Chain A
Amino acid sequence: MENLIALLVAAPLVGAALLLCGGKRLDRTGAWIGSLFAVASFAVAAVLFADMLGKSAEDRAVHQHLFSWIPVGGFQADVGFQLDQLSMTFVLLITGVGSLIHIYSIGYMEHDERRRRFFGYLNLFLAAMLLLVLADNYLLLYVGWEGVGLASYLLIGFWQHKPSAATAAKKAFLVNRVGDVGLSIAIMLMFTTFGTFAFGPVLAATGDTSEGKLTAIGLMLLLAACGKSAQVPLQSWLGDAMEGPTPVSALIHAATMVTAGVYLITRSGAIFNAAPDAQTAVVAVGAVTLLFGAIVGCAKDDIKKALAGSTMSQIGYMILAAGLGPIGYAFAIMHLVTHGFFKAGLFLGAGSVMHGMNDEVDMRHYGGLRKYMPVTFVTFGLGYLAIIGFPGLSGFFSKDKIIEAAFAKGGTEGWILGGAALLGAAITAFYMTRVMLMTFFGEKRWAETPGAAAPGQQVQHPHESPKVMTIPMIVLAVGSVFAGALFSVNEAFVTWLEPVTSFAHGHSPLSATAITASTIVVLLIGVGLAWQMYGRKPVPAVAPRGSLLTRAARRDLLQDDFNHIVLVRGGEHLTRTLVYLDHSVVDGAVNGTAASMGGLSGRLRQLQSGFVRSYAVQMLGGAAVLVAATLLMRGV
């Protein structure tokens, strides 16, 4: 059965190769072929899952060793897969949500003439992402890690003719590369410390290693996670990444790829458990990002960017949970899965809205759409209720557990983290209600006839999306509603993951009931505040100037400005200076030598007068010097 693991990766890879090399012949059928390979991968995953369920908890992890990849001295990298409960969870999420989004894209990309390539890239992404979660060593994980980065680059920049898309793609890749350096240094550290970088031996050997080394490895892994999962300080790319087609935002920049950082930290749990300093850094990053993303999400008028801020914030929750150690890993992954459902659903809903609104993304030009797009409204609404943690829906179960675990961290730290998580929950409720109200409720702020349209505004004929798009949305909405409850029955999810991530019950200073109650209270506060601001009075079609914080949040809390001034401008100056120096100093030294040689020989040339008699004098003089020298030497 374990021989099937390779098939999981191979299926979408074959699809990608077929679609990218197939040429124009496949233009018409490309979308279906791509979706077929995605679904095939999901089918294999389902078979493997059924098989895994049939085994006892200890025997569930299976390995498939393919071949020796890079054997050089003590450096032995293999291509091998490891499928345990953690990878299985991810595989199901990736192939499941991935298949749904493939199907959705058939409708969404129907009119794009380059859709064959789009599906090729999507398949490539699936293959890379599956490689990432299935690899049995860090180096192979790194291949998947950069592979998803490449797919993300290609898909963000899919509409390459738009300079903004091309720039966003480049930015995403570069920022990710900074994180990748962290991963590559972590692997090097593992190699010098343990002599290997396969999961099994490394994670088993943490007990014998000095804490300093483990902290260094942990911090490097955290850097990698920050890059891929858009955590502060490497979060700046995610907002721009919304330039990509919306299915891409749903699949890559919400449900799967951006959660890779959480996977990395959870997978490396043994390292972090033995390095408390690194764990502190992880929870700090998580807590800061969950507030950062939430604040940014409150100010954005672009529906996708608002959702992107929300993604950042929710992943902040997961990173925070993963940083708490055994009391949090399982909840991090649980939130990751439920988030995969409701955030993918929200993005697909946003895509559906855009699809019906001529690709308009500004929420200030929406309004009152619930009547025109009932299915989208309902599915989006369920996703909304799930993400704000409405009691009974999946977000409620997973987020509540994280908040509880944060308090259980203990001491002042626990209070700070728990407080931040609660505050985040309030802001989440606020900005998601804002999105909901601005899009589906209130007066319509768009025009159906050219006469009524404001300057620069398009004429809109909002309509519901075709079935091929709404069905995936419905499936995801069902997941958003029930997944959390399903996972929480008898702590099913925690039991399932425990053999891999280990689990410990946290002891929170507040009782679980108190925490649940306060979560619901802050939720109501957030919703109420948003209702007060956006529900009771009409939303202006042009954004008001806003407070200082709002303006800063619109500009991603000025992080981009900082990057631009320090890194971009500074870098430009540096390279320009270096180009100048290379020409004038390094090359100049050589050219100067050449020039002075030329000058010297020009002067020496004067001696060549052409007059025979002057040559004769030189010869005579030379002979005289030679004779004199000989005599002198003799004399000595």
Chain B
Amino acid sequence: MADFSFPLLTATAAVPAIGAVATAAVPAAKRTAAKWLALLFSLATFVLAVVIAVRFRPGAEGPYQLTESHAWIQDFGVRYELGVDGIAVALIALTALLIPFVILAGWHDADPLESASDSGSAAGSNSRWRPTQGFFALILAVEAMVILSFEATDVFLFYIFFEAMLIPMYFLIGGFGDRAGAHGEEQAATQRSYAAVKFLLYNLAGGLIMLAAVIGLYAVTADQLGSGTFSLQQIVEARTSGKLDFGTGTERLLFLGFFFAFAVKAPLWPLHTWLPNAMGESTSPVAVLITAVVDKVGTFAMLRFCLQLFPEASSWATPVILVLALISVIYGALLAVGQRDIKRLIAYASISHFGFIILGIFAMTTQGQSGATLYMVNHGISTAALMLVAGFLITRRGSRLIADYGGVQKVAPVLAGTFLIGGLATLSLPGLAPFISEFLVLVGTFSRYPVIGIIASVGIVLAALYVLVLYQRTMTGPVKAKVEGMPDLRARELVVVAPLIALLLFLGVYPKPLTDIVNPAVDHTLSVVDKKDPKPAVRVDAVPGAGRPGHAVHDQEVEAAK
């Protein structure tokens, strides 16, 4: 390149990666230093993410911006290609935003057990056992990989990080759990390793099938374009210009290969059962990491890779996927109602929400896909708020069972209040951010598939049911014995929750900054897929006297822009 520009995207991923190494290298005795170091690096990443968002120009020429491109494995046409569209910017911002809160919320989650340090206090000081450093280093490592997978525009590069993030996640789930389980440490450890292995196997299985499809993609491009390539932009261009033609059968197979991996990660019914285990057994910050950050890579990749690489196959598979997504919505919500464990309840609620996201993506309307993207962001924030407060609650009482709580509202009103707001966000109350995304998804789905839209609306009622039942059983009623004397939220915990709630309110009232970034990217995706929004049955403009001045101005502006 003639003019050297700062590799912003690489830097945003490199900072947490360096942070991970640095945190891991902190000596065993200096636990607190490691925590602060990790927090510092995550904050630096957030600053860089903000810079990305500021430098990003919505509606500028070309689908991707801030691109970087270097040759990597030339023999196989693999390039180190990064670039962001509006959807990626939104999700990078979400990731970079949530990680500091995750670190802060998990401040004490990885401290060595007191009993352990008692038994070997002498050995403890010079032991090389450093769980705290490991915990925070792993979180930063996950952040780096997630950010890279949002940035990668090379299919192979994406695949590498998509898979590699399983490794730190595996250790985070298997290595760190809630302190006192109801059944004692031994059994908790067994369940934890079961959950971790299940997580790994599910995702590896998906990943391997995707690998086969990645190789297949290379084979087809090598065959038809002369030299094989993994570059998303090149493949899309070649396909639109007619140079590349997968052939119906091949395209469908490749699509299924990609989709399977993303559906496991997302998770879509019936590939969802790893999520409740993983979220139930891990500490709540890690559960947030799973559902609010890592899972988003799956739905994001559906938008970026499945739809753009294989538009025809996507249309072909749409009916089945929509039905599966609809089942996820209802099924997840019904199972959430039936749960006895707070964290598993939130996990099943997430499954229901991921159903909405996938519904929005495959409805193939502007509203559906913008809604789905907003949903990813809003679900991240709202689940983080709810899950982290639930984590604070669980730490206080040492139990995940709903039946062990009652009357918390009386002893810890702030905790109960924040929990309620998180819950209300989860049930998509208007005024809070998730409402906007859920409504957009429903409208987008409804305008093309009315029946599916109507059935999905039932999910709204079920969401209210599981949230309010949870709130009623844990927070209201007479104070249970072991709940008495429970301290309210501490300063550190308030610092975690308050900004999240403020953000939920802000994005619920004024989501325009987000929609402005996301809309052009969605339009691009839909133009690649070659779908247009259904037109309304009645053209309101044709009605005399209709339309307010505001709308008229808006229309004129649009026309002027054209």
Contacts and interface: CB of A to CB of B under 8 A. Distances in A.
Do chains A and B make direct contact within the complex (CB under 8 angstroms)?
yes
Interface of A: 20, 63, 65, 67-76, 78-80, 136, 139, 142-143, 145-147, 150, 153, 157, 160-163, 165-167, 169-170, 173-174, 177-178, 180-181, 184-185, 187-189, 191-196, 198, 200-202, 204-205, 207-210, 213, 571, 574-576, 578-579, 582, 586-587, 590, 594
Given A139-B439, A163-B476, A192-B446, A578 B334 contact: yes
Contacts of B548: 63, 65, 80, 136, 198, 200-201
Contact of B339 (A65, A153, A198, A579): A579
Given A143-B430, A146-B430, A166-B476, 18 more contacts: A20-B417, A72-B440, A73-B367, A145-B430, A160-B409, A163-B478, A167-B472, A181-B458, A184-B457, A191-B447, A192-B536, A196-B551, A204-B543, A205-B538, A208-B538, A578-B334, A582-B273, A586-B269
22 contacts: A72-B367, A72-B515, A73-B365, A73-B523, A74-B536, A143-B435, A146-B429, A147-B431, A153-B468, A161-B409, A161-B479, A173-B464, A181-B461, A184-B439, A184-B457, A184-B460, A188-B453, A192-B450, A193-B536, A196-B536, A204-B540, A210-B537
A162 to B, nearest CB: 8
A266 B335 CA distance: 40
Contacts of B331: 578, 582
Interface residues of B, number: 76
Name the residue in B198, B273, B554 with the highest tally of chain A Cβ atoms < 10 Å from its Cβ. B273
Contacts of A163: 476-478
Contacts of B457: 181, 184-185
B465 A73 contact: no
Interface of B: 198, 201-202, 269-270, 272-273, 331, 334-335, 337-339, 365-367, 370-371, 407, 409-410, 417, 424, 429-431, 435-436, 439-440, 442-443, 446-447, 450, 453-454, 457-458, 460-461, 464-465, 468-469, 472, 475-479, 509-512, 515-516, 519, 523, 533-540, 542-543, 545-548, 550-551, 554
A72 B442 CA distance: 13
Q: Which of A165, A167, A579 has the most CB of B within 10 A?
A: A579
Q: Specify the main secondary structure of chain A where it touches its partner.
A: helix
Contact of A192 (B417, B435, B534): B534
Contacts of A71: 512, 515-516, 519
Contacts of A204: 540, 543, 545-546
A206 to B, nearest CB: 9
- The SS class assigned to the B binding surface is helix
B464 A69 contact: no
B468 A205 contact: no
A143 B472 CA distance: 24
Contacts of B269: 586
A166 B77 CA distance: 63
A575 B446 contact: no
A627 B447 CA distance: 64
B430 A147 contact: yes
B273 A160 contact: no
A579 B410 CA distance: 32
B521 to A, nearest CB: 12
Contacts of A166: 472, 476-477
Contacts of B547: 200-201
A181 B546 contact: no
A68 B512 contact: yes
A242 B519 CA distance: 46
Contact of B461 (A157, A177, A192, A590): A177
A586 B270 contact: yes
Contacts of A65: 548, 550
Going nearest first, the 5 A-B pairs with the smallest beta carbon separation are A73-B366, A195-B536, A575-B338, A166-B476, A143-B430
A143 B431 contact: yes
Q: Which of A195, A578, A587 has the most CB of B within 10 A?
A: A195
Contacts of A191: 443, 446-447, 536
B335 A578 contact: yes
A571 B436 contact: no
Given A192-B537, A200-B547, A180 B460 contact: yes
B464 A192 contact: no
A624 B293 CA distance: 53
A162 B370 CA distance: 43
Nearest to B348: A582
Contacts of A202: 540
A162 B227 CA distance: 73
B447 A192 contact: yes
Nearest to B471: A170
B519 A72 contact: yes
A448 B522 CA distance: 74
B515 A70 contact: yes
Contacts of A594: 201
B468 A69 contact: no
Contacts of A146: 429-431
A578 B336 CA distance: 10
Contact of A161 (B464, B476, B519, B538): B476
A136 B550 CA distance: 12
Contacts of B335: 575, 578-579, 582
Nearest to B330: A578
A67 B430 contact: no
A594 B417 CA distance: 43
B337 A571 contact: yes
Given A195-B540, A198-B548, A586-B273, A67 B367 contact: no
B550 A78 contact: yes
The interface centre, meaning the residue of B409, B429, B457, B548 with most chain A CB atoms within 10 A of its CB, is: B548
A575 B334 CA distance: 6
B429 A150 contact: yes
A177 B333 CA distance: 15
A177 B476 contact: no
Nearest to A594: B201
B67 to A, nearest CB: 26
Given A139-B439, A578-B331, A72 B460 contact: no
Nearest to B410: A161
Contacts of B436: 70
Contacts of A150: 424, 429
Contacts of B370: 72-73
A280 B350 CA distance: 41
Nearest to B202: A590
Contacts of A136: 548
Nearest to B414: A23
A188 B546 contact: no
Contacts of A578: 331, 334-335, 338
Tell which of A76, A166, A213 has the most Cβ of chain B within 10 Å.
A166
B546 A160 contact: no
Nearest to B269: A586
A180 B331 CA distance: 21
Contacts of B516: 71
Given A63-B548, A166-B476, A170-B472, A188 B519 contact: no
